[in-house]
Structure 1
Amino acid sequence: MRTETDFIPKSFSKTIESGTFTWSAPSNIALVKYWGKKANQIPANPSVSFTLNTCKTITTLTFQTKANPDSFSFDLLFEGKPKEDFKPKIQKFFERIAVYCPYLKQYHFTIDTRNTFPHSSGIASSASGMAALAMNIMSLEKALNPEMTEDYFNQKASFLARLGSGSACRSVKGKVVVWGNHKGITGSSDLFGVEFPTAIHSNFSNYQDTILLVDKGEKQVSSTVGHDLMHNHPYAEQRFQQAHDNLSKLKTVLENGDLETFIEIVESEALTLHAMMMTSMPYFILMKPNTLEIINAIWKFRKNHNIPVCFTLDAGANVHILYPENVRVQVLQFIQDELVGYCENAQYICDAIGKGSQLMIDN
């Protein structure tokens, strides 16, 4: 099992003056939620997520050596335009990873990034954004050290991404990713995400996630603030144990295809996440009235039609509707008939399980 020191490079066999890489990295949707963290972005409990396919960040990293390698130097563009308010987060990220990426100060970077989905609306844009940036940085490191193995590349990319945004470590590889030490998951680690280690039942092949955009505005409470409120939370220890127990149950479900139990665990996890927010001090509510309308409509539809559709939520108002591919036609008709009116500007995104980050340009 790798430790932090394994990610500190000892030397490089090559030098490189300039170049460009472009990576796409997907968002992910947690089934067992991560909420609460220790120092250095270590999760207070393990989590597991579906990697998405359509909701992604595409980031181009252009770099050029500079004369004065004593500080970080970068320009940040969002959708092709300078985005000054993003820069402090990137600066902090570079500071966190400097010991693991000592070459960063040798270059001036231009980071040009865009999302295929609304920023800061509860679709984990920080996860896909930090994962995409970490993949680009690792492409630079691999150019400096071509002997690097694919396994090391992916583990370190996940490790770096985690230091930018915890859940970003689940956006590097794999259809189903576990992050956090768990006794039942081989190779699981607090330091990086790992692909689910056993075969996943065919019921979950190309599982669908339709995201209903209830509120596309920025959340009134950031996830970082929410995580910090778990430190003195009256139900924190019970919650962390519940997450361990639910991950054990979900591992069995993903292997045996039990959709009924899958629904119970996933919906319970979503509501527990928001219960933690509502019972912290200070307390807050990220769900909107239309979030609850959608949840009630899903429960009614599932009961009346016996179709295995369920919801989950991230730290926001939007609703992820999860369902097998073989009921896609019926569920999309249900969304059109009954749910689209609860979405902001009638907008929703059709997504499905994806494969992780993809290299688009290597120059």
Structure 2
Amino acid sequence: MKKNCFFYRKKKYSIEPNGVITKKSHSNIALIKYWGKHKNKIQIPLNSSISYSLGRVYTVTRLIYQEKKKRNLSIKIFLSGKEKTSFLPKILEFFHRISFYCSYLRDFNFIIETYNTFPHSSGIASSASSMSALALCIMEIEKKLVFSLKKDFFLKKASFLARLGSGSACRSIYPGLVVWGSHKSIKGSNDLYAIPYPYKVHPIFKKMVNTILIIDEKPKKILSSKGHLLMNKHPYARVRFQCANQNMDRLISILKIGDFQEFGELIEHEALTLHAMIMTSRPYFLWMKPNTLNVLHTVWDFRIQSKKNIYFTLDAGANVHLLYPIQEKKSILKWIYSDLFFYCKKIIESFCY
């Protein structure tokens, strides 16, 4: 029996031969970044991470399942109404990985119809929201088979399955602050699925605004999945993993006491560390664009002059996430449109929920 048999489902069940399920899942932005995974294990992180789930930034997936007439598996994928055969290899690999845990999927063919409220593959975790939405659809099929399925198990297994498609997708199953990866200071944290952050959070961090500056809408030339692999021989990898876990300890304390300046400085350090690892990989590459740097410098200057609590973080791409308290939203958002809009293709007004 394979490891993780807690989620194993082998028994044959009866289910209607055709059906349609629709689920929505939000993107997330990591505060402590996950970058690098175990070489000989499937989607197991080399350090713990924590993220906010994001409102107004999500994927809606419609999963149509049809009883299989032939032995071969058939999957069709549509993004915003257009068939995407280029997505098939990743989806087929995902179904292959989860078939041990969801044996009932072998009886069906699938049509996946999906759309995002944000640009795909541009560094706003589209794989996280899309894979988590798909995992939630699959768990709805399982729920039809097992009427007694409890909500806690449903979400836990959905997170487990989503991880097998995209590591950060496991965090998108839950709202709020979400932890993935085993960490000695966080009870219940583990490498197999994400958990809601279990400790006290100061009120200032419960109503956070997230404004996303789209610097570049084009798909990244180097996807995150390939970037992770470059950590296997990275000369600074071991120090990075130690630093990330130490930063998690710092963040636990910050979230409790409500020190926004310490919070901001920590998430900016994490963001720049992530890009430093990218720039010092072999082969090395650069996701930031000139306007990414222009935005960062402008934010720093504004913060010094205004004393406002506005800080940035970056995902694996050129676009910039700005985080600030809801109490300062009116004045900061006005400044964003007046001073930063010049550098952007568009601005997405979101929030951490």
* TM-score of the two chains, using structure 2 as the length reference: 0.97
What whole-Å deviation, never above 9, does each CA across 1:154-193 have from its counterpart, x for those lacking one?
A: 0110011011010000100130000000011111010011
Q: Does 1:53 align with 2:52?
A: no
Whether contact under 8 Å (1:16, 1:143) holds in the other structure is: no
Match of 1:103 in 2: 104
Q: Does 1:121 align with 2:118?
A: no
SS of aligned partner of 1:262: helix
Whether contact under 8 Å (1:214, 1:291) holds in the other structure is: yes
Pairing of 1:21-40 with structure 2 (within 5 A) = 21-38=21-38, 39-40=41-42
Output the amino acid matched with 1:177.
V
Deviation at 1:12, TM superposition (A): 5.3
Whether contact under 8 Å (2:13, 2:104) holds in the other structure is: no
Residues in 2 aligned to 1:16 and 1:259: alpha-carbon distance in whole angstroms: 52
Match of 1:5 in 2: 5
Residues in 2 aligned to 1:343 and 1:82: alpha-carbon distance in whole angstroms: 29
Match of 2:326 in 1: 325
Whether contact under 8 Å (1:30, 1:49) holds in the other structure is: yes
Q: Give the stretch that moved more between structures: 155-164 or 198-207.
A: 198-207
Match of 1:65 in 2: 67
Q: Give the stretch that moved more between structures: 327-336 or 313-322.
A: 327-336
Deviation at 1:14, TM superposition (A): 4.5
Output the amino acid matched with 2:56.
T
Q: Give the stretch that moved more between structures: 202-211 or 311-320.
A: 202-211
Whether contact under 8 Å (2:48, 2:244) holds in the other structure is: yes
Pairing of 1:162-201 with structure 2 (within 5 A) = 162-201=163-202
Whether contact under 8 Å (1:40, 1:163) holds in the other structure is: yes
Whether contact under 8 Å (1:12, 1:145) holds in the other structure is: no
Output the amino acid matched with 1:19.
G
Pairing of 1:134-213 with structure 2 (within 5 A) = 134-213=135-214
Q: Does 1:223 align with 2:241?
A: no
Residues in 2 aligned to 1:186 and 1:13: alpha-carbon distance in whole angstroms: 35
Pairing of 1:278-297 with structure 2 (within 5 A) = 278-297=279-298
Residues in 2 aligned to 1:10 and 1:108: alpha-carbon distance in whole angstroms: 19
Deviation at 1:20, TM superposition (A): 1.2
Match of 2:269 in 1: 268
Residues in 2 aligned to 1:252 and 1:53: alpha-carbon distance in whole angstroms: 25
Q: Give the stretch that moved more between structures: 150-159 or 250-259.
A: 250-259
What whole-Å deviation, never above 9, does each CA across 1:116-167 have from its counterpart, x for those lacking one?
A: 0011110010100000000000000110111111111101100110110100
Residues in 1 aligned to 2:153 and 2:330: alpha-carbon distance in whole angstroms: 41
Q: Compare relative contact order (CA 8 Å, sep 6+) and give the higher one, 1 or 2.
A: 1
Deviation at 1:205, TM superposition (A): 2.0
Output the amino acid matched with 2:164.
L
Output the amino acid matched with 2:11.
S
Whether contact under 8 Å (2:129, 2:169) holds in the other structure is: yes
Residues in 1 aligned to 2:18 and 2:255: alpha-carbon distance in whole angstroms: 44
Output the amino acid matched with 1:45.
N
Match of 1:348 in 2: 347
Deviation at 1:17, TM superposition (A): 2.0
Whether contact under 8 Å (2:10, 2:102) holds in the other structure is: no
SS of aligned partner of 2:92: helix
Q: Gapped runs of 5+ residues in structure 1?
A: 355-363
Output the amino acid matched with 2:48.
P
Output the amino acid matched with 1:109.
F
Output the amino acid matched with 1:43.
P
SS of aligned partner of 2:231: coil
SS of aligned partner of 2:281: coil
Whether contact under 8 Å (2:10, 2:103) holds in the other structure is: no
Deviation at 1:10, TM superposition (A): 3.9
Q: Gapped runs of 5+ residues in structure 2?
A: none
Q: Give the stretch that moved more between structures: 79-88 or 20-29.
A: 79-88
Residues in 2 aligned to 1:343 and 1:87: alpha-carbon distance in whole angstroms: 32
Output the amino acid matched with 1:349.
I
Match of 2:317 in 1: 316
Residues in 2 aligned to 1:155 and 1:71: alpha-carbon distance in whole angstroms: 30
Identical-residue share of aligned pairs (%) = 48
* TM-score of the two chains, using structure 1 as the length reference: 0.94
Deviation at 1:232, TM superposition (A): 0.7
SS of aligned partner of 1:43: coil
Q: Give the stretch that moved more between structures: 180-189 or 74-83.
A: 74-83
SS of aligned partner of 1:312: strand
Q: Does 1:334 align with 2:335?
A: yes
Residues in 1 aligned to 2:11 and 2:96: alpha-carbon distance in whole angstroms: 20
Deviation at 1:4, TM superposition (A): 1.2
Output the amino acid matched with 1:183.
K
Whether contact under 8 Å (1:49, 1:170) holds in the other structure is: yes
Deviation at 1:221, TM superposition (A): 1.1
Q: Give the stretch that moved more between structures: 122-131 or 84-93.
A: 84-93
CA RMSD of aligned residues (A): 1.1
Output the amino acid matched with 2:300.
W
